[in-house]
Amino acid sequence: MAEDLEKEQMMDDFDDEDNLEFDDSADLDFDDEEDLLGEEDDEELIPSVLYKGIAKPKTEDDWRQLLMEASREGVPEYRITDTYKDGDLILHPQFGLGVVSKVVSPRKMEVVFDMSKKLMAMNLTPPREAAAS
């Protein structure tokens, strides 16, 4: 019961607009602030075939068509320890350029390559690294 009264008092304090004061004369100065939009680390950005205005492909052939139109520039080599999302491009040493068509689980993904589709692991710690931890 006391807890309910406390909550009511907090809501009353919050709803009390008479205590709100705004200083219209203060200028906002963002010169010293870092640019928050450009803070993402370039290494974390994986090229993707999905971008604004592109609908997610429904068939393996649709994914393959986007893959054929994709550039290899900046595409990272596949690593089992990395995390991927739908549309990400990867470069596999054996299968070549591929696109993540579906994230099946936090550790599995389907990847469409030029001539095949593979179920691949991701977001895993190799046994030798896990044993050292």
Confidence of residue 6 (pLDDT cuts 50, 70, 90): low
Give the predicted TM-score (pTM) of the model: 0.61
pLDDT tens per residue, range 75-115: 999 999 999 999 999 999 999 999 999 999 999 999 999 99
Domain locations in the chain?
41-132
**The predicted structure's pLDDT at residue 19:** 56
Query: What is d(CA 49, CA 75) in angstroms, rounded to the nearest whole number?
Result: 11
Give CA–CA dist 3/48, Å, rounded: 51
Residues 30-60 have pLDDT tens digits of 555 555 444 444 445 788 888 777 788 889 9
